[in-house]
């Protein structure tokens, strides 16, 4: 008798739309599981899913695990979804994130971090600017280890009318930053150097040189976007 009551509840619960709370009608069966269609927004959904990749809360779980230092395969194992789904979702989530608004007249720290993709001979730079007072990331670029990559970040910082730009003693900076706002003193980049360490701890693809390295630049950019701005 108790079972019947439970079944009754699930059918009633299935009748409201998960997207707009509208009324739904039955829309066929898939693997002996009832499918519903919403009358107002005409989206379809099932009462319960066998494939974990279809669950509505799966994207938030992927983001949480990604930020705690889990690799692609370990996320797939923990959530019982395929590796391809994890990669596709990471890129989809990152597409929806937009850059934060940069405020005027602030002090920024700019630094570059060395990494590679596919093999240890294909080197990359992650160049990013950190606002000194709030510790927020203003902008970042992933590219080859040239002055052009540095210039893309420096240009956005200069456009915001930066009061001071602190960098390390890499000689390339003095060609692209005006001398009156450039600073390369000893303790001026402490915050951003600490941030490098945080990135290497909590993003699995940056932590080691032999396993769990990045294979695609697009996924690396997506992971950084999620870590910085989501």
Tokens representing 8 are 């009754």
**118 binds Zn ion, rule: CB under 5 A:** no
CB of 43 to Zn ion, least distance (A): 5
Binding mask 37-66 for Zn ion (x = CB under 5 A): -x--x-------------------------
**143 binds Zn ion, rule: CB under 5 A:** no
**223 binds Zn ion, rule: CB under 5 A:** no
Cβ contact 177:154 at 8 Å: yes
The CA distance from 24 to 77, in Å, is: 34
**36 binds Zn ion, rule: CB under 5 A:** no
Distances (CA, A) of 63 to 128, 152, 175: 21, 27, 38
**20 binds Zn ion, rule: CB under 5 A:** yes
**17 binds Zn ion, rule: CB under 5 A:** yes
Q: Which is nearer to Zn ion, 56 or 100 (CB)?
A: 56
CB burial of residue 202 (10 Å; 0-12, 13-18, 19+): middle
Q: Which is nearer to Zn ion, 44 or 196 (CB)?
A: 44
Tell me which residue of 130, 175, 132 sits closest to 150, measured CA to CA.
175
């Amino acid at each position: 008798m108790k079972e019947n009551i439970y079944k009754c509840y699930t059918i009633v619960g299935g009748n409201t739309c998960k997207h707009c709370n509208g009324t739904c009608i039955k829309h066929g069966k898939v693997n002996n599981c009832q499918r519903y269609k919403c009358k107002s927004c005409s989206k379809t959904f099932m009462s319960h899913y066998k494939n974990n990749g279809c669950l509505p809360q799966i994207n938030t779980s992927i983001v949480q695990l990604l930020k705690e230092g889990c690799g692609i395969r370990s996320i797939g194992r923990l959530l019982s979804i395929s590796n391809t789904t994890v990669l596709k979702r990471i890129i989809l989530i990152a597409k929806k994130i937009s850059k934060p608004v940069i405020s005027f007249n602030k002090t920024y720290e700019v630094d570059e971090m060395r990494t590679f993709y596919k093999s240890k001979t294909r080197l990359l730079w992650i160049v990013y600017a950190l606002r000194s007072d709030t510790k927020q990331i203003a902008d970042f670029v992933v590219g080859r280890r040239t002055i052009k990559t540095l210039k893309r970040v420096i240009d956005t910082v200069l456009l915001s009318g930066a009061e001071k730009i602190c960098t390390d003693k890499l000689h390339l900076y003095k060609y692209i930053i005006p001398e009156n706002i450039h600073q390369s003193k000893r303790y001026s980049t402490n915050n951003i150097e600490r941030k490098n360490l945080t990135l290497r701890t909590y993003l699995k693809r940056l932590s080691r040189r032999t396993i769990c390295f990045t294979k695609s630049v697009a996924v690396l950019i997506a992971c950084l976007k999620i870590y910085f701005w989501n």
